[in-house]
């Protein structure tokens, strides 16, 4: 009998009791809107922003309706206009080109390396085309952030970090989201904290933070924030910045506060699972793991491996055989977008030049979610199944 994995790849853990209790308190008083406070009361949303800013060492933090909203708001606050070009990763997910499209701008894609990070050589050749890079730390992989910042600073390109997969991660000890001008995060169910939907942006830039607060729909109530610039920063921009509502509400903030406080513990639990999967997938002929550099503090909420230069049918065969044994793998080489997985050439609203290096990687990259509901033994079993099926297909092909 072949072993079959019985767990669910999409089941997250329940909301912690502290979050449930806080959410019930908000429901009982009924003041869900972030600016609906009684005299002297500080909203859950304002407290959440203060706590998240402190956790990454940022001056300012704004909580918003989604990660995609955070990114589009930042692009708007940076003055990106319809028709402007914005640099971004060819290997990422749909909310990234979507945020660029939301402001009428046009993505210029940068190739991906075998380390699954942005190709800095290719980036260097394209920097003169844009004022902004929307850098996606796709699947949690961080590039050499010091080199990237040096390149972008020299070219006068502002860096916006998409940290949807790197909340809690760091490069040389500096939290992801703190190298660029702004860091954007997602609190969607499949990310590192879960309020269903939600997002953050963090920055030290006073003007940018003030514009983002106004854009998010603060009306003239920005003084009720704890992690926003002082009121002088709003003096002029409050007349010229449109209200494009995308606020966080107190119910979601109440659910998130205990999760932000607990993030480090959760990251360690993800990494324990990642380590077991990685160990179980070592030295499989034909399969390359993505080696993680010493400078990187990872959060192993997903794992990727490459079946590099395999024929498409063989990769498809591996995915199907693993699926038959309960192991859900995602493949970026499929021609048609499936569920959450799509690729740069499926985003027809943002057409791209040919990306040969990226095409080669996408044809071989296999991705797997690692929810915290998996036990360490589950991870061992999943690795055994992948190992066996990759081995069987590889042997057949040889």
Ligand X SMILES: *Cc1c(COP(=O)(O)O)cnc(C)c1O
For ligand X, the binding residues (CB under 6 A) are: 66-68, 92-93, 95-96, 136, 138, 162, 164-165, 186, 188, 199
Q: Which two tokens stand for residue 345?
A: 């050439």
State which residue, 74 or 233, has the beta carbon closest to ligand X.
74
State which residue, 187 or 383, has the beta carbon closest to ligand X.
187
Considering the complex, what minimum distance in angstroms separates the CB of residue 201 from ligand X?
A: 12
Considering the complex, what minimum distance in angstroms separates the CB of residue 30 from ligand X?
A: 26
CB of 315 closer than 8 Å to CB of 364: yes
Q: Point out the residue whose Cβ comes nearest to ligand X.
A: 67
| Parallel, antiparallel or unpaired: strands 174-175 and 132-136 | unpaired
Considering the complex, what minimum distance in angstroms separates the CB of residue 42 from ligand X?
A: 25
CB of 190 closer than 8 Å to CB of 140: no
Considering the complex, what minimum distance in angstroms separates the CB of residue 166 from ligand X?
A: 10
State which residue, 141 or 165, has the beta carbon closest to ligand X.
165
State which residue, 367 or 378, has the beta carbon closest to ligand X.
367
State which residue, 66 or 381, has the beta carbon closest to ligand X.
66
Helical (H) or strand (E) element with 28: helix 17-29
Q: Among 23, 14, 45, 52, which Cα is nearest to 260's?
A: 52
Q: Which two tokens stand for residue 260?
A: 């932000």
State which residue, 328 or 380, has the beta carbon closest to ligand X.
328
Considering the complex, what minimum distance in angstroms separates the CB of residue 248 from ligand X?
A: 12
Neighbours of 161 (CB within 10 A): 29
CB of 305 closer than 8 Å to CB of 287: yes
- Alpha-carbon distance of 172 to 170, in angstroms, equals 6
State which residue, 14 or 196, has the beta carbon closest to ligand X.
196
Q: Among 137, 162, 92, which Cα is nearest to 345's?
A: 92
Considering the complex, what minimum distance in angstroms separates the CB of residue 282 from ligand X?
A: 27
CB of 119 closer than 8 Å to CB of 112: yes
Q: What is the maximum alpha-carbon separation in the chain?
A: 74
């Amino acid at each position: 009998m072949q072993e079959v994995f019985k767990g669910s790849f999409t089941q997250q853990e329940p909301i912690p009791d502290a979050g449930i209790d806080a959410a019930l308190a908000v429901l009982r008083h009924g003041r869900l809107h972030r600016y609906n406070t009684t005299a002297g009361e500080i909203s859950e949303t304002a407290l959440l922003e203060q706590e998240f800013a402190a956790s990454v060492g940022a001056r300012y933090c704004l909580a918003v309706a989604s990660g995609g909203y955070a990114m589009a708001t930042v692009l708007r606050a940076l003055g990106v206009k319809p028709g402007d070009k914005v640099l971004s990763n060819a290997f990422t997910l749909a909310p990234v080109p979507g945020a660029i499209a939301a402001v009428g701008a046009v993505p210029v894609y940068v190739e991906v390396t075998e380390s699954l990070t942005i190709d800095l050589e290719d980036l260097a050749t394209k920097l003169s085309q844009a004022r902004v890079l929307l850098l996606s730390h796709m699947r949690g992989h961080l590039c050499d952030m010091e080199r990237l910042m040096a390149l972008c600073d020299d070219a006068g390109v502002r860096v916006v970090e998409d940290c949807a997969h790197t909340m809690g991660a760091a490069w040389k000890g500096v939290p992801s989201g703190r190298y660029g001008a702004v860091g954007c995060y997602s609190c969607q169910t499949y990310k590192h904290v879960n309020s269903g939907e939600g997002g953050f942006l963090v920055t030290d830039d006073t003007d940018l933070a003030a514009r983002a607060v106004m854009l998010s729909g603060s009306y003239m109530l920005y003084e009720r924030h704890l992690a926003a610039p002082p009121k002088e920063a709003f003096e002029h921009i409050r007349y010229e910045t449109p209200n494009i509502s995308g606020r966080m509400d107190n119910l979601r903030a109440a659910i998130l506060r205990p999760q932000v406080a607990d993030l480090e513990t959760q990251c360690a639990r993800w990494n324990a699972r990642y380590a077991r999967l990685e160990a179980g997938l070592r030295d499989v002929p034909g399969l390359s793991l993505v080696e993680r550099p010493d400078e990187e503090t990872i959060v192993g909420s997903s794992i990727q491996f490459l079946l590099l230069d395999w024929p498409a049918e063989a990769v498809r065969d591996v995915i199907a055989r693993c699926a038959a044994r309960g192991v859900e793998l995602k493949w970026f080489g499929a021609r048609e977008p499936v569920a959450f997985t799509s690729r740069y050439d499926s985003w027809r609203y943002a057409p791209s030049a040919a990306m040969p290096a990226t095409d080669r990687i996408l044809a071989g990259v296999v991705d797997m979610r690692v929810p915290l509901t998996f036990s360490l033994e589950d991870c061992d079993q999943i690795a055994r199944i992948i190992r066996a099926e990759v081995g069987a297909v590889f042997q057949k092909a040889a």
